[in-house]
Amino acid sequence: MKDTTTSNTPQALSKRRRMKAMAWSFLFIVLSAMILPTASYLVSGEQAHAQVTNDQNQRANFWRAVREGAPGYSAVSGPEAGVFINNGGQNWRQLRNGMIANYGGWAIIIGLGVIALFFLVRGRIKIDEEASGMSVPRWKTWERVMHWYTAILFVLLTISGLSMLFGRAVLIPLLGAKGFSAWANLSINVHNYVGPFFAIGVFAMLLFWVKNNIPTGTDMAWFAKGGGLFSKAHPSAGKLNGGEKVWFWIVIFVGLVAVCGSGLVLIGWMAQLGFVDSTRGTMQLAHQVHAIASIVWVVVFFGHAYIGTLGTEGALEGMTTGRVSVEWAKQHHDLWYEEVKDQAGIAEDTTSAPAPSTAAS
């Protein structure tokens, strides 16, 4: 019997060589398959490390961008849907609930207090001369319509606006949550719908009354004498005195520009016209300007309303009937009286009747 494994025939030798080659090749393939993929680590360790740090950088950059409020993409559409964090919100909250609500509230209380104190100390400023029954025309019908239109809307806006700002603290305890909610809902609707019509009134005042309100040297002298508010002196004045002109320009800059301008941003009209965007940042700023300027305006308005009614005898008639007594005109607006005295006439019943036909010649 021959053992083929040990035979040395040529066929047996070649077969053994093939088997060996196959085994080595197999081992080589298996080892390569295991080692080659890891070769990248051995060969380019540097590069691989760089890739890891790059990955970390990317992550850090991402979180930094997010913190800084960088916008991203969102499939959801909506106002500023791509913004991660609205960073201005807390500042706005703190300013509105803190400074504006606190100082604003005090400004209104102190403003009213100062007026009450002034009334107690100085009393009503009376007309010195005996009434003669003679009067001069002061405000035309269209001027009075413009004034009262604007004034009534101003009061509506003040009540509704202040209700929104102070109602939570002042009115909820009085009306309860449901009652105040109903009031606030009425307020916001009145406020937002009346606002633009009010702005038209203020703008008309600018157009038609600016000519009365150009400051002159007379006004400086008037201020130097304190406007006669604290003394018995009657400093000279034209149709409008220095104080009234200051009120006019406060109405224009604080009122028309700051309050009405920001109000029109808040109801979205300025954005519609393309002047501003309607992001929360813009709205926060507009709201702050609006609230601060409107409180300034309201406080100064208290002064205006006091002087025009309780504070000065004979002033209100000018804006209600259109005529003022000759004595009032001489006392408060002497230079203007000189200009219009030839129009003076007897106005028995001070309705807005036209000035009596060509007066005393």
Partner 1 sequence: MARMKFLCDAERCIECNGCVTACKNEHEVPWGVNRRRVITLGDGESGEKSISVACMHCTDAPCAAVCPVDCFYTTDDGVVLHDKDLCIGCGYCFYACPFGAPQYPQEEAFGVRGKMDKCTFCAGGPADDNSPAEKEKYGRNRLAEGKLPLCAEMCSTKALIAGDGDMVADIYRERILKRGGRPQTWGWETAYGS
Distance of CA 85 to the CA centre of its chain: 22
Taking the least distance from each CB to partner 1, the nearer of 82 and 113 is 82
Identity of the residue numbered 239: K
Counting contacts by CB under 8 A, is residue 158 touching partner 1? no
- Which of 26, 193, 230, 275 contacts partner 1 by CB under 8 A? 193
Counting contacts by CB under 8 A, is residue 172 touching partner 1? yes
Q: CA 39 to CA 101: how far, in whole Å?
A: 69
Give the 3-state DSSP-derived string for 125-169, with helices as H, strands as E and coil as C.
Answer: ECCCCCCCCEEEECCCHHHHHHHHHHHHHHHHHHHHHHHHHHHHH
Q: Which of residues 266-325 bind ligand HEM (CB under 6 A)?
A: 266-267, 290-291, 294, 297-298
Q: Which does 138 bind (CB under 5 to 8 A by kind): partner 1, ligand HEM, none?
A: none
Residue 333 Cβ, how far from ligand HEM at the closest point, in Å?
28
Counting contacts by CB under 8 A, is residue 75 touching partner 1? yes
Strands 323-325 and 345-346: unpaired
Q: Which of residues 84-113 bind ligand HEM (CB under 6 A)?
A: 96
Counting contacts by CB under 8 A, is residue 180 touching partner 1? yes
- H or E segment to which residue 325 belongs: strand 323-325
Q: CA 350 to CA 133: how far, in whole Å?
A: 10
Taking the least distance from each CB to ligand HEM, the nearer of 258 and 326 is 258
Phi-psi region of 124 (alpha: psi -120 to 50; beta: other; left: phi over 0): beta
Residue 160 Cβ, how far from ligand HEM at the closest point, in Å?
7
Strands 345-346 and 134-137: antiparallel
Counting contacts by CB under 8 A, is residue 65 touching partner 1? yes
- H or E segment to which residue 323 belongs: strand 323-325
Counting contacts by CB under 8 A, is residue 200 touching partner 1? no
Taking the least distance from each CB to partner 1, the nearer of 175 and 257 is 175
Residues that bind partner 1 (CB under 8 A): 55-56, 58-59, 62-63, 65-66, 70, 72-76, 78-87, 89-90, 92-93, 96-97, 164-165, 167-168, 172, 177-178, 180-181, 184-185, 188-189, 192-193, 195-196, 266-268, 280, 283-284, 287
